[in-house]
Amino acid sequence: MQTHFGWDRFRAGQRAVVEAVLEGRDALAVLPTGGGKSLCYQLPALVRDGLVVVISPLVALMEDQVLALQKRGITAACLHAGLDPGRRQQAMARLRDESLRLLYIAPERLQGEATRQMLENHASEGRLVALAVDEAHCISAWGHDFRPDYRRLGMIRRLCPGVPMLALSATAAPRVRADILRLLDLRSPLVQVSSARRVNLNYTMQRRPRDPMPQVLEALEQSRGAALIYARTRRSVELWAERLREHKVDATPYHAGLDPDTRRTALTRFLEQKRPVLVATVAFGMGVDRGDVGLVLHLDLPATPEGYLQESGRAGRDGQPASCLVLFSPGDRTTLSWAMQASGRSGSSLEERRRLDLAQQQLRRMEAVAEGEMCREQALLLAV
């Protein structure tokens, strides 16, 4: 840990998880954003001098972590649909010569025969140190970021029955944790749950005026380091980035509708510029490792308290003071509610109706947090 990361002590909850994995034991780690979840699977790969396979939901997350590891001299690679042939061949060559320590893959790749065969071969030859499922709340229909492809991850246990499995998330309510344990078939696992409280973050929630630009500009002027501004739709992201540029703010848009090269350039700017301003949809930011984010600003009411804790938690990962501002309107709940109902119309199964009902409950809880009079941090922690 000192050699590769420069740290001489663990953060809260990390050591128990790392030791469980090294002992060959399954684990579920719910550690707050900025709490060092990635170390829990990166360190065992180095200690055991073998391969850890990490299932990750977002290309940006994979690319960012691989780049950070490579800068530390750790051999890491990722496999996803947007990877160019040269990088794919290089990753496969490092798998064959056993020099790779961390391999990040999207959940969809586990449906391919080649990926499954690779996992089985490494497991049977004793080269697979652990399997890590990042953002594990995505597996639960009760989670704030459900991904259908995560539902199929239970097959990993059958492919690699003797390999320890580690599930990680920044937020997971008790029933989400129960889903994770059941669907991933974790066996006698260590369950490590740390408080989501971040003492260096200041939470503010205000009614959004007709034109919130003055508040946005004031928040940017008062912030330090990088700023991350969340808008609900791709169109809003583009419009706000353009408006900010008109006010002499060098803002960069980021959303899934942009081509891969444009997204990669936007991510690079956010990671490398001194005081970047990124306007993005909420999918951006999972696992993105920039410590000096001084402002996370939401231009709409977040959909869930759990999701908001995770999104706002991207601020102040260096431990320094940072601001989390939500500008909301009473109409946001209606707009989000309609969008939820529209997305649920395609299916009428009991589970889908249950998910829709839960999403509406979470939205009402988030509105209560925003409209309430008690400390915003306390209200958030009570709501999750």
Q: What is the pLDDT of residues 239-269, one digit of tens each?
A: 999 999 999 999 999 998 888 889 889 988 9
DSSP type of residue 74:
-
DSSP reduced 3-state for 14: helix
Q: What superfamily in CATH does domain 201-332+364-383 come from?
A: P-loop containing nucleotide triphosphate hydrolases (3.40.50.300)
CA 128 to centroid of chain Cα atoms? 24
Residue 350, both tokens: 């009991």
Contact (Cβ atoms closer than 8 angstroms) between residue 269 and residue 276: yes
Q: Within a 10 A sphere around the Cβ of 153, how many other Cβ atoms?
A: 23
Q: What superfamily in CATH does domain 2-193 come from?
A: P-loop containing nucleotide triphosphate hydrolases (3.40.50.300)
Helices 305-312 & 376-383 angle (0-180, nearest 10): 130
- HSE-CB for 261 with a 13 A CA cutoff: 1
DSSP type of residue 211:
-
Q: What is the pLDDT of residue 220?
A: 97
Q: Tens of pLDDT along 73-87?
A: 999 999 887 788 888
Percentage of the chain beyond pLDDT 70 is 95
- Cα separation, 47 vs 42, in Å, equals 9
Phi/psi at 193 (nearest 5 deg)? -120, 120
Q: What is the pLDDT of residue 288?
A: 67
Residue ranges per structural domain of the chain: 2-193, 201-332+364-383
**Domains 2-193 and 201-332+364-383 fall in the same CATH topology:** yes
* Confidence (pTM): 0.73
User: Which stretch of 13-22, 37-46, 125-134, 368-377 has the lowest confidence by average pLDDT?
Assistant: 368-377
- Cα separation, 311 vs 314, in Å, equals 6
**Residue length of the chain:** 384
The edge-to-edge listing of strands for the beta sheet with 165-169 is 76-79, 102-105, 51-55, 128-133, 165-169, 27-30, 190-193
Q: If you search the block for the tokens 């001194």, which residue do you land on?
A: 274
Above 60 in pLDDT, residue 302?
Answer: yes
| Average pLDDT for 347-361 | 73
Cβ-based burial of 165 (10 A; exposed 0-12, middle 13-18, buried ≥19): buried
| Average pLDDT for 260-279 | 90
Phi/psi at 72 (nearest 5 deg)? -90, 5
Q: What is the pLDDT of residue 138?
A: 87
Contact (Cβ atoms closer than 8 angstroms) between residue 300 and residue 325: no
Q: What is the pLDDT of residue 22?
A: 96
Highest mean pLDDT of the ranges 136-140, 206-210, 308-312 = 206-210
Q: If you search the block for the tokens 């080649």, which residue do you land on?
A: 114
Above 80 in pLDDT, residue 67?
Answer: yes
